[in-house]
Amino acid sequence: MLLDLAKHGDDLVRYLLAVGKSGTEEEIRHRLKENSILFCNRFDDIWWMELNYINYLYGDLLEQIFRWVQGPLVLTQKEQIPMNGVGENDIHLVSFSADCLKENKHNLHKSFRKFNTKSTAKFLKLKYWICEDAKLAKELGIETTGDIYMLREAETPFNNKKANIDICDFPFTSERLVTSHELSEDLEKSWTKIMKQCLDQPIIIHEFSQFEELRFRYASNVLVVYCDPKKHGVTVYKQLL
């Protein structure tokens, strides 16, 4: 949407003041002079961007914007978990809080939304979920509010732990990965705990760009093993995993 600030600038300032996430009126007017692109999402988050960034709206930045606008998925039934897996090192991160999607409760999951925005690498099989249903949360082994729980299919090459919950007849493990206190104390440390779960397991590379990103963006030491189950056999493939 294009907005003529000469005609509607005051209305926009009043809206941003009402949302309460962009500072004082003076700060907002100063930001409007320096930034020509403004993104808003359903959580009333504001992303200010200079006009020259329009030349870079592709690749990783565009993916971040898309994930930021979309936000975490909303979990309303257990079936969504296995339906959104790809059979690799799938990690489902779930945060529960009753009524957290209501307009005045959006700040409860701000850090969680930041993690969702950052997870643009194609080799990351991460799904972020927000759950408001206390009964559903209990069925998924989620016992505390505001913490991040990790759900993974159990007894696989990527997770050999014994299952403690059942999702649609599939064995899963449910464990608390990051507490709300840890989120508020050290955001980067919490992000590192999530990334460790991704990088400590076998990663299946489907295209060179994924390997390139893993090697150079994350500066990770990589042992590459070529194995095609169609060529080398499923048994050998599973043994390697």
Sequence spans of domains, the chain:
5-55, 71-200, 205-241
Contact in structure between 12 and 3 (CB atoms under 8 Å): yes
pLDDT of res. 234: 82
Determine the residue type at 58: Y
User: What residues pair up with 171 in beta bridges, in sequence order?
Assistant: 166
Counting as low any pLDDT under 50, the low residues of the chain are: none
Contact in structure between 218 and 199 (CB atoms under 8 Å): yes
Residue 215 DSSP class: I
User: What residues pair up with 176 in beta bridges, in sequence order?
Assistant: 149
Encode pLDDT of 201-234 as tens digits. Answer: 777 777 777 777 777 766 666 677 777 888 888 8
The domain made up of 71-200 is a member of CATH 3.90.1150.10? no
pLDDT of res. 131: 92
pLDDT of res. 22: 76
**Can you list the positions of beta strands (E) in 108-204?**
126-131, 148-153, 165-167, 170-178
pLDDT of res. 77: 94
d(Cα 49, Cα 68) in Å, to the nearest integer? 14
Model-wide pTM > 0.85:
no
C-beta contacts of 48-51 below 8 A and 24+ residues apart: 48/22
d(Cα 46, Cα 22) in Å, to the nearest integer? 7
